[in-house]
Amino acid sequence: MSRPGWNRLTDRLTRAGRPVFWVIVAGAILAPCACFMALAVSPRLFDQGPQWFTFQYLRGVLSGGVAHALVDSMWVSAAAAVMGAAIGFPMAWLVGRTTMPGRRSIRGGMWLVLLLPSWLPALGWVRLVQPDGVMYRLGLNLPVVTHLILGPFGVVLLLGLRCVPFAFLAVSAALAGLGQEFEDAARVHGAGRLGSLRVVARILAPAIWSALAIGFAESVSDFGVAATLAYSAHFPLVTYQLYSAIDNFPPSFPAAAAMGWLLVGSVAIPLALQARALRGRSYAVLSGRTRPLTPVVMSRRATVGAAAGVGAFAVVALGIPGLGAVSGSLLGDFGSSFHISFSNYDAIFHNPTLIGPIDRSLVYGLVAATVTVVAGFVAARMLARTRTRATRTLDMLLLAAVALPSVVFAAGYIFAYNLPFMSKLGIDLYQTTTLLVVAYIASSLPTNARVLFGSVSQLQPSLHDAARAHGSGPVRAWGRGVLPAISRPLVMAWLLTFCAVFLELPISQLLYAPSSPPISVAIQDNLGNYHYGIGIAQAVVSVLLALLAVGVVLGAYRLLAPAGWRRIGALSRG
């Protein structure tokens, strides 16, 4: 086939593939969750009860143990969001407005806290303070500490630390565009440093409210802490209640769907409070007269105090749980001594049933990240280039899916693909590895598309058109004209998806094939069977492998990518 004929064929395939892509995305994300959520009011629609329309299950979850778990989830999430903002705001201020040394390390630490799933630090804390844990084997008999951590205080602490990176990133982005003139005006009128800080804080109200809303939404939908520390503390949260309703025999899908409505509806509370607090006020501060920032030169005493605060956060968020995990992995399952042994690691690397879950999760992460990045780029490209009714619908669908808790998403999949008519259609995916990977991809796609949207929207059509004008087909033109500009954002999106899928818990717990558990499920199984040392050792090896993968991919990009790619990619990232 001639070059012009081939170009026309690829153009037709590209145009025909867009609606197919939209249908696949809508079917993979919207249909399972919509079917599941409909059960709360119409269980007979899918033969799960006699009622065509009822509020019985919604009323049922508003009383008894589920209502208590919901109230606990709400106040714990609110406290965690406030804690995250209270810590994230001053740290963002130190990084963005002062000369404090080590500011780049603080940013890197925030990304590390963000990348680690919440259940991993929770496991470290539990293994450290639980009876027969590391603390007691070292002779530190502190039941007060055990009672605090294995209780509501520990849940708030873990979730609050998880909220700090979200607050840090939200406030840092707002501070980047804020000039010096507001602080100077406050100082001219007699305000001290704290007074000028209060003035800036009022201007940053949208970012602070966004941090609170994100922190609340992330905390109320979190499953990792609910399934580990909160479960060990006998402090049930609503996400674990939803999981229990499905994991019981027989499962109660309508009751679980009603809990899903409560989870999704609770996210609207901070958004409504944010809208009410900001209504009727203007926060437009950028103009042509915005003065460049002069960083505050910190005194030696202030630097020492700030470094101590940042160090305390690093110790509590990463150091202590890391110490608990590593030391716990070096202990036997039972006993009262602190005898260090590498037997748990020897068992992992010499037992196929223990190393197998790690290998499987690596493959799941590689496949899901690769497919998700490609599909995420296509979705971001569609959203950036045209604003038709279809793309607006896709945008709303992706935004809604970002806010959907993972446990609700997994529950939708486990229900929808277990329906009898799926088998009649020849779709027998229930309890298969294929369904698990599809769920990984579908759950990661909305976030991935939103992450790539900013970089993709900066691409000019002339990049692709110039390569086409020189005789390149659509694929080659994309590789020569578009890929260099988007290469680094694609690499970062791939890494974010890989790490998230490799250590993902709620979807894995509900959808894994019985004979092929991923590493997160294998760790939970070992801990549930009192094989603490084996489970913690698996967690330590998994984290090290994830960090190694990040280092290898970034190192390979730096070594193998042309210098022009790295330079353009850095510009598009900024």
Averaged over 415-426, what is the pLDDT? 71
Q: Which H or E element spans position 559? A: helix 532-560
pLDDT greater than 60 at residue 150? yes
pLDDT greater than 90 at residue 354? no
CATH code given to domain 55-280+304-336: 1.10.3720.10
The C-alpha atoms of residue 237 and residue 334 are separated, in whole angstroms, by 29
* All CATH 1.10.3720.10 domain ranges in the chain, comma separated: 16-51+342-574, 55-280+304-336
What pLDDT digit, counting tens, does each position of 367-384 carry? Answer: 999 998 888 877 777 766
Cβ(164)–Cβ(113) below 8 Å: yes
Rounded (to 5) percent helix, strand, coil in the chain = 75, 0, 25
pLDDT greater than 80 at residue 298? no
Averaged over 541-560, what is the pLDDT? 85
pLDDT greater than 50 at residue 282? no
What pLDDT digit, counting tens, does each position of 55-64 carry? Answer: 877 777 777 7
Q: How far is CA 83 from the centre of its chain?
A: 18
Q: In terms of residues, how long is the chain?
A: 574
pLDDT greater than 90 at residue 432? no
The C-alpha atoms of residue 426 and residue 567 are separated, in whole angstroms, by 49
Residue 38 burial (C-beta neighbours within 10 Å; 0-12, 13-18, 19+): middle
pLDDT recorded at residue 285:
41
pLDDT recorded at residue 410:
80
What pLDDT digit, counting tens, does each position of 338-349 carry? Answer: 677 788 888 888
pLDDT recorded at residue 107:
80
Q: b/e map of 400-416 (b: 16 or more CB within 10 Å)?
A: ebeebbbbbbbbbbbbb
**Identity of the highest mean pLDDT range in 76-80, 131-135, 164-168:** 76-80
Omega within 30 of 0 (cis) for the link into 90: no
pLDDT greater than 80 at residue 6? no
Confidence bin at 221 (pLDDT 50/70/90): confident
pLDDT recorded at residue 386:
62
What pLDDT digit, counting tens, does each position of 105-126 carry? Answer: 888 788 788 778 888 888 888 8
Averaged over 165-184, what is the pLDDT? 68
User: Out of 69-83, 187-201, 229-243, 539-553, which region has the weakest mean confidence (pLDDT)?
Assistant: 187-201
pLDDT recorded at residue 262:
80
pLDDT recorded at residue 490:
81
Other CB atoms within 10 A of residue 396 CB:
10
pLDDT greater than 90 at residue 71? no
% pLDDT > 90, the chain: 5
Cβ(419)–Cβ(344) below 8 Å: no
**Identity of the highest mean pLDDT range in 307-311, 335-339, 427-431:** 307-311
Residue 315 or residue 201, greater confidence: 315
The C-alpha atoms of residue 169 and residue 277 are separated, in whole angstroms, by 21
Helices (H) and strands (E) in the chain, counts: 30, 0
Averaged over 90-99, what is the pLDDT? 80
pLDDT greater than 70 at residue 83? yes
Confidence bin at 158 (pLDDT 50/70/90): very high
pLDDT greater than 70 at residue 201? no
pLDDT recorded at residue 503:
86
The C-alpha atoms of residue 211 and residue 206 are separated, in whole angstroms, by 9
Q: Which H or E element spans position 174? A: helix 152-176
From 379, 502, 403, 554, select the one nearest 451 (Cα to Cα). 379
Residue 445 burial (C-beta neighbours within 10 Å; 0-12, 13-18, 19+): buried
The C-alpha atoms of residue 518 and residue 512 are separated, in whole angstroms, by 7
CATH code given to domain 16-51+342-574: 1.10.3720.10
pLDDT recorded at residue 184:
54
Averaged over 532-539, what is the pLDDT? 84
Angle at 492 between CA 487 and CA 493, to 5 degrees: 95
pLDDT greater than 80 at residue 166? yes
Averaged over 447-463, what is the pLDDT? 63
From 107, 225, 79, select the one nearest 165 (Cα to Cα). 107
Averaged over 276-300, what is the pLDDT? 53
pLDDT recorded at residue 469:
53
pLDDT recorded at residue 367:
92
Any residues with CB less than 8 A from the CB of 63 and at least 6 apart, and which?
none
pLDDT recorded at residue 550:
85
pLDDT recorded at residue 350:
84
Averaged over 449-462, what is the pLDDT? 62
Residue 396 or residue 419, greater confidence: 419
Confidence bin at 455 (pLDDT 50/70/90): low
From 476, 60, 477, select the one nearest 254 (Cα to Cα). 60
Residue 264 or residue 75, greater confidence: 75
pLDDT greater than 60 at residue 568? no
pLDDT greater than 70 at residue 10? no
From 227, 245, 264, 258, select the one nearest 508 (Cα to Cα). 227
pLDDT recorded at residue 528:
75
**Identity of the highest mean pLDDT range in 80-94, 109-123, 329-343, 425-439:** 80-94
What does pLDDT average to over the chain? 75
Place of tokens 């603390």: 135
pLDDT greater than 60 at residue 472? no
From 160, 162, 166, select the one nearest 79 (Cα to Cα). 160
Residue 479 or residue 521, greater confidence: 521
The C-alpha atoms of residue 350 and residue 264 are separated, in whole angstroms, by 44
